[in-house]
Amino acid sequence: MNLSQLYQDVIIDHNNSPRNYKLLESPDREAHGHNRLCGDKITLYLKLKDNVIYAATFQGNGCAISTASASLMTEFLLGKTIDEAKYMFQQFQKAVTQDDCDTSQLGKLAALTGVRAFPSRVKCATLAWHTLLAALTQDETCVSTE
Ligand code: ZN
């Protein structure tokens, strides 16, 4: 695993043109995330109807990994239920921290599993997901990966 493998095409693409990168007017849920280790910051906005996520957008400043991860996540979330999103948080967390993990359910999110070889970048890849969990559970509206 080298840096060029970490920055796969899909990460470069989603960093260069992040999907769903915008403010969402009157979101049902909103949460902020901050990865102090790298300086990544994101704000996540969600709209929910009958426990289904039908809009997910984000804004913020971060490195290529955190931006691509948030972009891929917001694409992935559309049409998913809250329970499915929480389940995928766990699957994603495992996939970026454990070797030999089943990534078959991850789809394009699997592009981020390259961070396994770079422990300091795992927080970049998971920041959006920790922020998602905060937005869905609303037990705190500002998360830190520390
Ligand atoms: Zn970062």
3-state secondary structure 40-63: EEEEEEEEEECCEEEEEEEEEECC
Q: Which residues are near ligand 1, the ion (C-beta closer than 5 Å)?
A: 38, 40, 63, 66, 124
pLDDT of residue 53: 97
Residue 18: name the closest of 28, 27, 7, 10 by CA.
10
CA of 124 to the centre of ligand 1 (A): 4
| 119 or 40, higher pLDDT | 40
Q: Where are the alpha helices (DSSP H) in the chain?
A: 3-6, 9-16, 64-77, 82-97, 119-137
CA of 17 to the centre of ligand 1 (A): 17
Residue 127's pLDDT band (cuts 50, 70, 90)? very high
Q: Which whole number is the average pLDDT over 10-37? A: 96
pLDDT of residue 140: 54
Alpha carbon distance 21, 71 (integer Å): 7
> Strand, helix or coil at 85?
helix
CA of 38 to the centre of ligand 1 (A): 5
The answer on pLDDT for 7 being more than 80 is: no
- Percent of the chain at pLDDT exceeding 90: 75
Q: Are 70 and 44 in contact (CB under 8 A)?
A: yes
CA of 49 to the centre of ligand 1 (A): 32
